[in-house]
Amino acid sequence: MGGWWISDLLNDPNINGKVWVVSWAVWVILSICLHELAHGWTAVRLGDDTPILSGHMTWNPIVHMGPFPLIMFLLIGIAWGAMPVNPSRLRGKHGDTIVTIAGPAMNLLLAILATLLLILWVPLAQGQLISSVTVSNPLAANMQTFLALGAMLNVVLMIFNLLPIPPLDGGRIAVNFIPPYRRMLQSETGRWVLLGAFVLIFMYAGGIMFGIGMLSVDLVSQGVWAAFFPNMDAPVSLLPILN
């Protein structure tokens, strides 16, 4: 985007900017909250009550994201969150890894759910599932955009969080299972190298990850459609953002 992201979306003649802004805001906040709560729920199940004692087992996005990430969301459209966990209190040899994986797993679950709802919504709106039920525009198109953005965003969040770079979840998993990687993090040079890699990925790989997210949702949607609705005419693309 060339300027303020909200202004860019609202002024884009190819999309319904208001729907995009609202959809993006809802999905970013919801996905981050559920991602962090997944860490917390899993930690509590494995014996660590730190998430409860710290007051983070809540739906309040301000608690999970904090003021600064929320300000960054308003400025650039992205944000992040945190869930306090004490690995030493977790049961099991791989308790820390299980808690770490829970966050990206939640994003995968949200992506699957949004994709399935998108698959069902398109034929329902067109009257192909229930002939007596149709949904006209703008509701049909707006809901399709909402679900498509949610599916795409959560694919991107899952991929991004699994990158083996601290402070991402993938970095913590790599530290737990790859001793040379853990030793590299203990050196100042190694930490600077990984910080540089994180900044470069954050700055330049975002478009690639969003492209992967959009393509993944579209391919899965079309594949499921072909498998379960072979006698129905599928739309050219289930993702308005790819049209």
**Residues identified as active-site:** 36
Q: Which residues contact 72 (CB under 8 A, 6 or more apart)?
A: 78, 79
Q: Which residues contact 134 (CB under 8 A, 6 or more apart)?
A: 125, 126, 127
The DSSP call for residue 152 is: H
Give the integer Cα–Cα distance in Å for 73 and 4: 11
For the chain, the C-alpha Rg in angstroms (whole number) is: 20
Give the integer Cα–Cα distance in Å for 50 and 38: 14
Phi-psi region of 66 (alpha: psi -120 to 50; beta: other; left: phi over 0): left
Whether the Cβ atoms of residue 19 and residue 142 lie closer than 8 Å to each other: yes
